[in-house]
Amino acid sequence: MDRILIVDFGSQVTQLIARRVRESGVYCEIVPFNSVEAAFGEMNPKAVILSGGPNSVADIDTPRAPQNILDSGLPILGICYGQQTLCAQLGGSVEQSDEREFGRAMLNVTSASPLFDGVNGSDEGQIQVWMSHGDRVNNLPDGFSVIGTSENAPYAAIADEARKIYGVQFHPEVVHTPDGAKMLENFTHKIAGCKGDWSMAAFRDKAIADIRAQVGAGRVICGLSGGVDSSVVAVLLHEAIGEQLTCVYVDTGMMRAGESEQVVGLFRDHFNIKLVHKDAADLFLGKLDGVSDPEQKRKIIGGTFIDVFEEEAKAVGGADFLAQGTLYPDVIESVSFTGGPSVTIKSHHNVGGLPERMDMKLVEPVRELFKDEVRALGQELGLPEAFVGRHPFPGPGLAIRIPGDITDEKLEILRKADTVYLDEIREFGLYDEIWQAFAVLLPVRTVGVMGDSRTYEYVCALRAVTSTDGMTADYYPFSHEFLSRVSTRIINEVRGINRVVYDITSKPPGTIEWE
């Protein structure tokens, strides 16, 4: 399999380089600049891409590309900071310029290059690109020539065609460079000679072979939540090792309406996977009784989940491996220049403590994939669309959508409101446009009037956001028609709610969930 190595110098958009390269059918991995020297040999890539980054090459002690990469003779593409360090290291120079460029710029192609094959640009031979730089190259290393210029970057694109080393000041990986994906494909296919045969079908076959090699005759246990990641992992493992796999679905009592039935129906009945369905609602709700602090709720749920999971794993005779749906963004060690630990905003519940406690090894078959690639793999494995395209659902479930203490009554009210809301989202054809949508039940009662009577009931807040990774999010701009319809239906159909509000907070400053 052909591989591309992406050296991360800390750009906010390094992951997008990986996305574009994989979309061109070439497998790639991102490695931070400070650990790439060793990783380079093991990976044996066909070419290297140097990412952008926040530093200035002119400052001392800023990151550099390792010498073994520069000496390797492989094709190299430097992007933004990657271009600048490449130039500085190969004998050219970089200046700090007053004429900074941020945003859209026009690139004039000044010389034919395989990097620009099939890139047409406008009638004037200009190509729209996205720039974000203060520094710029001002002296080329030997062997290089200019292949493109922009108003404020006379060396916007440079090449040493003989050594197949390229540098671009702009960002081909972002959508604002409409031809950028084509340029990256030119680099990986035409310049580096990659075949472009990496696909989900190929990944699936390789993943199955890898799982068999890792697990041998061992037994694997997998926590199934009904979310996309664990569902895909379960089906993939089942294809690889069949009866050696046992899945455990823990019903915390804080699931949405019909959720447990759907999960059990699909995995046990349809896929014929060995599945333990543990109804632990009373245990969880008992421990949460009277608890209203969000962090305490999360900790109780996380701890109880591990206890229940461990107990069920013992009950089925233990296992040698624990399967997890770890994704690539969790694995990439991000390059941080700020120093110091980041602040915990919310403690996310996962089964992180389990492998040590239970003396199990980990199987993480999708740790090289991005979320939408996991979805594509799910389709490849025949998972129904309704599971593959599902909105994310947090481990602590409805508990973090009921601010304050949790009761059976509140859970029941919230389930009903959430069902109405999502029915309407589907009805209006909006489900796939939205990253995540859900109802929240506020611990506030307000006065209303229904018929001729006074009501004094709960407030329901609706949340819907668009996002690419859940890290930042915008609220979804529903039409008034949609909001009125949902509000009317919830108030008419869900006893216990007499007021509906829509949350128009983005993240940041808000978070997606309310707790």
- The residues annotated as belonging to the active site are 80, 171, 173
CA–CA distance, 390 with 263 (Å, rounded to integer): 13
CA–CA distance, 436 with 47 (Å, rounded to integer): 37
Judged by beta carbon, residue 192 or residue 465, the one nearer ligand XMP is 465
Which strand (E) or helix (H) includes residue 467?
Answer: none
For 316, which DSSP code?
T
Rounded to a whole number of angstroms, the minimum distance from the CB of residue 512 to ligand XMP is: 3
Count residues binding ligand XMP (CB under 6 A). 13
CA–CA distance, 126 with 469 (Å, rounded to integer): 33
CA–CA distance, 174 with 495 (Å, rounded to integer): 48
Binding mask 423-442 for ligand XMP (x = CB under 6 A): -------------x------
Closest C-alpha to 387, from 155, 249, 225: 225
The residue whose two tokens read 């034919």 is 112
The footprint of ligand XMP on residues 435-474 (CB under 6 A) is 436, 470
* 348 forms part of the interface with ligand XMP (CB under 6 A): yes
CA–CA distance, 279 with 332 (Å, rounded to integer): 35
Question: Omega of the bond prior to 477 within 30 degrees of 0, cis?
Answer: no
Contacts for 50 with CB less than 8 Å, ≥ 6 apart: 7, 9, 65, 76, 77, 78, 79, 81, 82, 83, 85, 86
Rounded to a whole number of angstroms, the minimum distance from the CB of residue 369 to ligand XMP is: 17
Residue 92: C-alpha distances to residues 70, 84, 96, 312 (Å) = 14, 9, 14, 63
Q: Which span (124-132, 175-183, 200-208, 346-354) binds ligand XMP, by CB under 6 A?
A: 346-354
The footprint of ligand XMP on residues 368-397 (CB under 6 A) is 392, 394-396
Judged by beta carbon, residue 141 or residue 395, the one nearer ligand XMP is 395
Judged by beta carbon, residue 320 or residue 513, the one nearer ligand XMP is 513
* 100 forms part of the interface with ligand XMP (CB under 6 A): no
Binds ligand XMP (CB under 6 A): choice among 176, 206, 346, 489: 346
The footprint of ligand XMP on residues 392-421 (CB under 6 A) is 392, 394-396
Judged by beta carbon, residue 334 or residue 492, the one nearer ligand XMP is 334
Binding mask 54-83 for ligand XMP (x = CB under 6 A): ------------------------------
Rounded to a whole number of angstroms, the minimum distance from the CB of residue 349 to ligand XMP is: 4
Q: Which span (273-281, 304-312, 344-352, 354-362) binds ligand XMP, by CB under 6 A?
A: 344-352
Binds ligand XMP (CB under 6 A): choice among 136, 349, 415, 499: 349
User: Both tokens of residue 109?
Assistant: 């192609």
Rounded to a whole number of angstroms, the minimum distance from the CB of residue 513 to ligand XMP is: 3
Contacts for 337 with CB less than 8 Å, ≥ 6 apart: 10, 54, 55
* 507 forms part of the interface with ligand XMP (CB under 6 A): yes
User: Both tokens of residue 158?
Assistant: 């440079």
User: Which residues sit at the interface with ligand XMP, rule CB under 6 A?
Assistant: 346, 348-349, 392, 394-396, 436, 470, 507, 511-513
